[in-house]
Chains A and B, each alone.
Chain A
């Protein structure tokens, strides 16, 4: 049963990897082992441009979304009462449930209206980035909020009690404590942006093709082995990333357990010393 589940999940990917080494021009026909499609890929300027554009957008998006999302998350978790709180927390999570087509369409309308009225923004990298920030920040806000809910509020109170003004509390205590959530939020926003096809298609302009857009448009013209090669490289990068993340996390966990055991074994040293 487990094998069946794994097969269901992974056979498509293995097929893709397998065919990326196919010498034949026709995807389903095996023509012997070859890496020529990888070479074609690296020589294609179009692909490189798309990769760079996607990465640029993803990095900018992740950074701004993390900044804004963290602010929203902190406001929702730590400020118990402010005017419009309920509305705000409802609105912030709306992009999570909104169909992408609608988000994309509405943003396109906004950008067209704006560029007619004030001449900004021109459609392209700017509009895609703004569009991505609007929905990514909702995810970051939710991650940051849930992390903060799990953190004892008395830590921030203790800092205040010791004389730290609110902004110092934010910088010295809150931000370090939510750092894991910020990293997770940044990575998620990065991935969401890299992954997005629908919204980017709506708001992009001429000449600015992101990687997913490029792959999609090529596949529409017929399956080609160089797309398989591109996909294989992406799979490889993601796999390495996941393995490294898992390794770091498990090492931290082990270290924490070890520290705890050491501390507990010294538990009674105080009671010894005062006698």
Chain B
């Protein structure tokens, strides 16, 4: 099997940046309330043809409700959804050009693999020979041909997942909705299936909308991610955008981990901003400008892997982007280590460092209670106002 291609490369033209591009799925002011609870709160979203789009958020953030509205299982309280230019209001689930892969897979227990996969085609009154042909074709793609006569309970978890995928793809939907497609698989299988899913998507060119709570899954799979919180989008962007340029504290914390500092803008220049932390002697020099007033309270997020750790601590340290601390704890994870550094003001910063060489004496870069110097590039701190 070929290695998966990086999906972001397929989208070098990035249709979402082109104001004239016509979105394939268009969601406008979509709201869903259950009694007094608002599950989805007036969201707008454009998804372009061939995208692998992820809705990412914690449980109860409204991502599944949004997906179910796309499939037609929930009726929007207000707002509109259109797919390929057709308004989906009043179109029942069985007439929508979308198919869904359910989290529980929802395989029909009384039908064989073949019958499960062929069920959708049978509903469309496709000719028997053609059904058999198309079922065989899709089963070959998901490598399940030898299992076509089995019932779902005679399959393992990974095989069931692929039957569900085949069943939802065989009708060649315009959009495939996937509800936590990999959640029920164990870790090893999940990682491999991620690439498998991307390959299949690439092969068939179907637009995928994936709901997931797993940020790693979203990062690997997606062309773009919408981070959802309390029924609204916190940020929509490419995995790189979301990770490197989070726009809110929620996104910075939800995607990956970040050291957060509260501070105040002390200087706002043409090409730089200086933020002074309220935790004592720590200043951030950021090498790009923001439209922000001076003396305003902001947060700074700093990714653990963007901090350099050094055991050589000079007498006087730089004014900006450096701080002294003491190693409080070390977590060895094999491929990298996490150092928890205690600053003078009792704040703890996490720093990750890849273990690039095999230490002969099994020692770490720094040991417990060592005094260390932390520093980072002026491009690294993320300034957040929301």
A163 to B92, CA, bound (A): 9
User: Is B192's beta carbon under 8 Å from chain A?
Assistant: yes
Give which listed residue, A154, A164, A270, contacts B158 with CB less than 8 A. Answer: A270
Given contacts A165-B94, A270-B189, contact A159 B154 (CB under 8 A): no
Hey, which chain B residues are within 8 Å of A259, CB to CB? 151, 153-154
Contact A158 B106 (CB under 8 A): yes
Q: Give the distance to chain A from B201, nearest Cβ to Cβ, in Å.
A: 15
User: Is B335's beta carbon under 8 Å from chain A?
Assistant: no
A176 to B116, CA, bound (A): 14
Contact B106 A266 (CB under 8 A): no
A115 to B210, CA, bound (A): 64
Total A-B pairs, Cβ < 8 A: 97
Which residues of chain A from 238 to 262 have a CB within 8 Å of any chain B CB?
256, 259-260, 262
Hey, which chain A residues are within 8 Å of B159, CB to CB? 263, 266, 270
Contact B93 A157 (CB under 8 A): yes
Hey, which chain B residues are within 8 Å of A264, CB to CB? 156
User: Is A45's beta carbon under 8 Å from chain B?
Assistant: no
Closest to A274 in B: B1
Give which listed residue, A155, A158, A176, A177, contacts B100 with CB less than 8 A. Answer: A158
Which of B25-33, B118-126, B257-265 participates in binding chain A?
Answer: B118-126
Hey, which chain A residues are within 8 Å of B167, CB to CB? 158, 162
User: Is B73's beta carbon under 8 Å from chain A?
Assistant: yes
Q: Give the distance to chain B from A33, nearest Cβ to Cβ, in Å.
A: 52
A274 to B190, CA, bound (A): 13
Contact A163 B156 (CB under 8 A): no
Contact indicator per residue, chain A 133-159, by CB within 8 Å of chain B (1) or not (0): 000000000000000000010110111
Main secondary structure of the interface of A (DSSP, over half): helix
Contact B99 A162 (CB under 8 A): yes
User: Is B110's beta carbon under 8 Å from chain A?
Assistant: yes
Residue with the greatest number of chain B CB neighbours at <10 A, chosen from A155, A161, A262, A274: A161
A270 to B159, CA, bound (A): 7
Q: Give the distance to chain B from A87, nearest Cβ to Cβ, in Å.
A: 21
Given contacts A154-B106, A273-B143, contact A162 B155 (CB under 8 A): no
User: Is B224's beta carbon under 8 Å from chain A?
Assistant: no
Hey, which chain A residues are within 8 Å of B123, CB to CB? 162-165, 168
User: Is B256's beta carbon under 8 Å from chain A?
Assistant: no
Given contacts A259-B153, A266-B156, contact A163 B162 (CB under 8 A): no
Contact A155 B106 (CB under 8 A): yes
Contact A154 B94 (CB under 8 A): no
Q: Give the distance to chain A from B160, nearest Cβ to Cβ, in Å.
A: 9
User: Is A44's beta carbon under 8 Å from chain B?
Assistant: no
- What are 14 of the A-B contact pairs (CB < 8 Å)? A154-B106, A157-B106, A158-B102, A158-B106, A158-B167, A160-B93, A161-B168, A162-B99, A164-B119, A263-B153, A263-B154, A267-B156, A271-B158, A274-B1
* B residues apposed to A, CB below 8 Å: 1, 71, 73, 92-95, 98-100, 102-104, 106, 108-110, 119-120, 123-124, 143, 151, 153-159, 162, 167-168, 171, 188-189, 192, 196
Given contacts A157-B71, A259-B154, 7 further A-B contacts (CB under 8 A): A152-B106, A160-B93, A177-B110, A266-B159, A268-B189, A270-B158, A274-B143
